[in-house]
Chain A
Amino acid sequence: AQKVTQAQTEISVVEKEDVTLDCVYETRDTTYYLFWYKQPPSGELVFLIRRNSFDEQNEISGRYSWNFQKSTSSFNFTITASQVVDSAVYFCALSGETGANNLFFGTGTRLTVIP
């Protein structure tokens, strides 16, 4: 079965602090994809990154970086020098053959950046 766990329900940081959002997943698939989405108060889910199970390279995009470790089934997301505009709910998601390639979301982490 596919499962995504985001243990941090809510996080508050002061602007300019770094913050890491944790994501742990379970799957029996050998080929799978991991995603991060941002959901601001407006409701739209904004795609941030997709990573396939064969690519464990970490990725950096501006202030965002992702650490994928298959050994611990984790796909963590770090925001460096957080800004108020980063305040949102962040979802980690998984898709794979077992779930007919549909997206399974974690429960989300609500990030509040305090000015």
Chain B
Amino acid sequence: DTEVTQTPKHLVMGMTNKKSLKCEQHMGHRAMYWYKQKAKKPPELMFVYSYEKLSINESVPSRFSPECPNSSLLNLHLHALQPEDSALYLCASSQDWAEPYGYTFGSGTRLTVV
């Protein structure tokens, strides 16, 4: 299994909703990432988990809350989002954070905040 699976593929939520994005990989990778990509922009790093511990939080607002329940799963909990948070949210994994042998990306969740 050489994939990163993200669910749901599409999500529409109101500003008062609470939702979660899920990411799963079974490649034995020990680093997992959340990226945010606005339309016609490159992906921007949000969070890095290395060995299930949060290693980097790139000054992301607290309405985004990451969670790594185990080495295969990565969640992103969403609460009280704003319309400007509408974007493609990409999950990625790599063998190890310190050794960037290449990242495997999921196909993303297209989030629309209304």
Name the one of A44, A46, A95, A105 contacting B100, with C-beta atoms under 8 angstroms: A95
- Residue of A91, A105, A107 contacting most chain B CB atoms (<10 Å): A105
A87–B110 CA distance with the chains assembled, in angstroms? 21
Decide if A25 is an interface residue (CB 8 Å cutoff). Answer: no
Pair A105/B42 contact, Cβ less than 8 Å: yes
Decide if A63 is an interface residue (CB 8 Å cutoff). Answer: no
Which residues on the A side are within 8 Å of B97 (C-beta)? 101
Chain B residue at minimal CB-CB distance from A45: B105
Which residues on the B side are within 8 Å of A33 (C-beta)? 100
Pair B48/A47 contact, Cβ less than 8 Å: no
Pair B43/A45 contact, Cβ less than 8 Å: yes
Interface residues on A, range: 20 to 34
Cβ of B23 to closest chain A Cβ, rounded Å: 13
Interface residues on B, range: 20 to 34
Cβ of B113 to closest chain A Cβ, rounded Å: 18
Q: When A42-B107, A44-B105, A44-B107 are in contact, do A101 and B98 touch as well, CB less than 8 Å?
A: yes
Decide if B64 is an interface residue (CB 8 Å cutoff). Answer: no
Cβ of A29 to closest chain B Cβ, rounded Å: 12
Name the one of A50, A105, A108 contacting B101, with C-beta atoms under 8 angstroms: A50
Chain B residue at minimal CB-CB distance from A89: B40
Chain A residue at minimal CB-CB distance from B43: A105
Decide if A85 is an interface residue (CB 8 Å cutoff). Answer: no
Decide if B14 is an interface residue (CB 8 Å cutoff). Answer: no
Decide if A43 is an interface residue (CB 8 Å cutoff). Answer: yes
Which residues on the B side are within 8 Å of A103 (C-beta)? 43, 45, 100, 103
Which residues on the A side are within 8 Å of B98 (C-beta)? 101
Which A residues fall within an 8 A CB radius of B? 33, 35, 37, 42-47, 50, 91, 95, 100-103, 105-108
Q: Which 5 A-B pairs have the closest CB atoms?
A: A105-B42, A45-B105, A44-B107, A43-B108, A95-B100
Starting from the known contacts A42-B107, A44-B105, A45-B90, 5 additional A-B residue pairs (CB-CB under 8 Å) come to A35-B103, A37-B105, A43-B88, A101-B99, A106-B42
